Structure 1
Amino acid sequence: MSSPTRTILLLAALLAIQIQNVVGNEYELPFFLSLGSKQLKQRVDCVSPMTDAQREWCRWNDDIVGLIVDGATKGLDECEYRFQKRRWNCTSSERDHFRAALSRGTRESAFTYAVTSAAIAWSVSRQCALREDLTQCGCGREDDEAGDDWDWGGCGDNLDQGRESSARFLRDDVKSPSPERRLMDDHNIKAGIEIAVRETKRNCRCHGLCGACAIKSCWKELPRNFHQIGAVVENKFDGSVKMKLNSGGGALEVAERNHVPPSNFDLVYLESTDYSRFCVKDSSVGSHGTHGRLCDPESSGTEGCAHLCCGRGYDTFEETDIEKCNCKFVWCCRIECEKCYRKVKRSYCKE
């Protein structure tokens, strides 16, 4: 799937799953997803059906909207990467399936919202600091006190801009057919942003004669590889907390008695997932089924054939992989490699 296609599908389902016409309890696809494949663009135009506030902000921050698109694409990539060995694998190749999967208040919806908000915050924060061609954002400003032997300096990631941008296109747009789903989405969006920001580290550089560290300047920096943040979000998915609307109707509370309330970094959900419904193709729950999926006969985990194939069994084939090998440097200046053929056995779920 092309990068712009993945961008539109994810931003639509998350960034705009909220701008909806609700018929009964069904989501009507909003904004980016509703554009469809015929209108895919490398960057998103500041057009309807954005909210008025979003359109106005977009017109004045068109550079940053491009970074938001990049972040949303990264979020979808991470979602598919993290779920590639599960029955629901976060595939967005069919719009209706993706919408159906996200229309329920499940752990999967919680993860998708959180990983996308984290990816947008990460993308905007880092690119604002790294790219000199951007005129609407730059290095981050540090308000925290410096240390006794170091001071703030360098060009740190723009965490404030990352937070604002992710919230602007996700949190500010949460509209839902039920108050509990709105509260769930809002919590998970905020959690994703804070999970990303919490992975920030302080990096420092020494300055002085002959390599002495007489002066040390430091800056804040997010992980260079988003997989590090994605792993944290996946861990939160596995430990997500089931919630329900409280008696007052204005907040969520834990659904199970004596369960520890979630923190601002935890994911929350409203309804349990019936994973047996992901065994076969079922558009009502956003399932493509698991037939033809690669599985591991030796594993007892989610990627194991016993679990992933849902009892239908699997077929094992011997396949040939072609790899580069025996590479050598040729003066000057190129690398030449031979082709090596390697026999491997792979197993796939039966229909």
Structure 2
Amino acid sequence: MDWRYTIMKCSFSNFIIWVLIFLVLWCSPSVIAIGAHTLCKRFLGLTKKQQQMCARNPEVMFAVGTGAQIAIKECQEQFKNQRWNCSETPGKRAFGYVFPVGSREAAAAYGAWSAGISYSITQECSKGRIPNCSCDYSKKGSSYSEGWKWGGCSANIKYGGSFAKRFIDAREIEGDARSLMNLHNNRAGRKAVEANVITTCKCHGVSGSCTLRTCWQTLPPFRDIGNYIKQRFEEARHVRPVRSKKHRKLVLRIRSISLWKKKRLKSGDLVYLSESPNYCDYNPEIGIIGTGGRKCNKSSNGPDSCKVLCCGRGYNTLVKTVKRQCQCKFHWCCKVICKVCSEVVEENFCK
């Protein structure tokens, strides 16, 4: 299922975000409240609770939009050589569109989406751009035996994760197996941000002796979180819904060949209910755009190879001449002179 309409990518949504930013920066609180309430209703696919949260927190909604964007970009980078590569499926524009197939790709999408939004809100808090949220000053104390103490501006992961949880999880109200899957993967995305936080320290002391260090927690590049989620995708757990013996509530359990091989499901695991489709052929009903027209590498043996990516349909070869600068030389003083060379390039595209 397509990642771009799973998270807010369409130009209309971007327009709404920038209008909200304008309201936040230039309008009075009363105008912001009225304008945000009206505009939030125009987001496609928001639940009533999400619309209310959007109207009450227009400044945070900017971070939500930014988080969705970085999640899209990172998803495309992580899966660019695979049959499912996060490309947009035409016709599905709703915010938070539900994947019809509860596959591991859906798990990765929800996890990354949740991580991106949590990450962006946390980042905006640290920059002082969200009212009533700044640095995390709850980290106190020191370890003088080890020569360090908490200080500085630690990333407010608690606030970012809390808002992301309330906003994203507001969609999952059915209580069925698919809703449980989505909620678990949303939580796994937030856990991915927590698991990759960096502790940064600054030295203090005479002549740089570093007799004492002040430390605080910062967010890593989002690429690190993307790599982490991709690893969780590779290790995703195939689960099934069961009724708990104690409360008779529906819960998810890892599918297992035998009871003695059972493993406990962890909150940071990505989970899926159904096996993945092959993503080879266009199928708008389940959001698959197919691999037709995708660029492939005929000399590769990996997932980006023409054999794998084209699903046995073959490929077309395009030969073109590319001009580039070459044989560059430095001339005293002070310029570089290059020649223009022509190179024949061969590209292959799936049929």
Where on the TM-score scale, by shorter chain, does this alignment land: which range? 0.7 to 0.9
Matched, 1:41 2:16: yes
* Cα distance between partner residues in 1 of 2:203 and 2:313: 61
Matched, 1:256 2:256: yes
8 Å CA contact 1:180–1:252 kept in 2: the answer is yes
Matched, 1:246 2:242: yes
Range moving further from structure 2, 184-193 or 249-258 = 249-258
The Cα offsets for residues 25-77 of structure 1, whole Å up to 9 and x where unpaired, read as xxxxxxx68x9849842346443375555444434432221111100111111
8 Å CA contact 1:97–1:286 kept in 2: the answer is no
Corresponding residue for 1:167? 165
The Cα offsets for residues 138-170 of structure 1, whole Å up to 9 and x where unpaired, read as 222243643221111112222112111211221
Corresponding residue for 2:213? 216
Corresponding residue for 2:154? 156
* Cα distance between partner residues in 2 of 1:310 and 1:341: 33
8 Å CA contact 2:189–2:268 kept in 1: the answer is yes
Question: CA 1:36–1:345 in structure 2 vs 1: closer, same or farther (change >3 Å)?
Answer: closer
TM-score when normalising by structure 2: 0.78
> Shift of residue 265 of structure 1?
1.1
* Cα distance between partner residues in 1 of 2:280 and 2:318: 22
Unaligned runs of 5+ in 1: 1-5, 15-31
* Cα distance between partner residues in 2 of 1:323 and 1:134: 47
8 Å CA contact 1:179–1:249 kept in 2: the answer is no
* Cα distance between partner residues in 2 of 1:54 and 1:310: 40
Aligned length: 318
8 Å CA contact 2:184–2:267 kept in 1: the answer is yes
Corresponding residue for 1:25? none
Q: Secondary structure of 1:143's match?
A: coil
The Cα offsets for residues 300-341 of structure 1, whole Å up to 9 and x where unpaired, read as 221111111011111233334455775989999x99988765
Unaligned runs of 5+ in 2: 21-35
Q: Secondary structure of 1:315's match?
A: strand
> Shift of residue 234 of structure 1?
0.9
Q: Quote the RMSD (CA, aligned, Å).
A: 3.3
Question: CA 1:59–1:306 in structure 2 vs 1: closer, same or farther (change >3 Å)?
Answer: same
* Cα distance between partner residues in 2 of 1:135 and 1:327: 55
Question: CA 1:195–1:133 in structure 2 vs 1: closer, same or farther (change >3 Å)?
Answer: closer
Corresponding residue for 1:182? 179
Question: CA 1:327–1:94 in structure 2 vs 1: closer, same or farther (change >3 Å)?
Answer: farther
* Cα distance between partner residues in 2 of 1:336 and 1:58: 56
Corresponding residue for 2:72? 76
Please list, as runs of the form range in 1=range in 2, the aligned pairs for 1:1-351 lying within 5 A after superposition.
10=4, 13=6, 37=12, 40-43=15-18, 45-46=36-37, 47-48=40-41, 50-51=46-47, 53-96=49-92, 102-129=99-126, 131-143=127-139, 145-148=141-144, 149-176=147-174, 179-223=176-220, 225-247=221-243, 248-257=248-257, 258-275=261-278, 278-321=279-322, 326=328, 342-350=343-351
* Cα distance between partner residues in 1 of 2:194 and 2:104: 22
| Structure of larger gyration radius | 2
* Cα distance between partner residues in 2 of 1:71 and 1:101: 18
Q: Secondary structure of 1:109's match?
A: helix
8 Å CA contact 2:253–2:265 kept in 1: the answer is no
Question: CA 1:303–1:158 in structure 2 vs 1: closer, same or farther (change >3 Å)?
Answer: same
Question: CA 1:294–1:250 in structure 2 vs 1: closer, same or farther (change >3 Å)?
Answer: same
The percentage of counterpart residues that share the same residue type is: 27
8 Å CA contact 2:6–2:109 kept in 1: the answer is no
8 Å CA contact 2:6–2:97 kept in 1: the answer is no
8 Å CA contact 1:159–1:197 kept in 2: the answer is yes
Question: CA 1:59–1:285 in structure 2 vs 1: closer, same or farther (change >3 Å)?
Answer: closer
> Shift of residue 349 of structure 1?
0.9
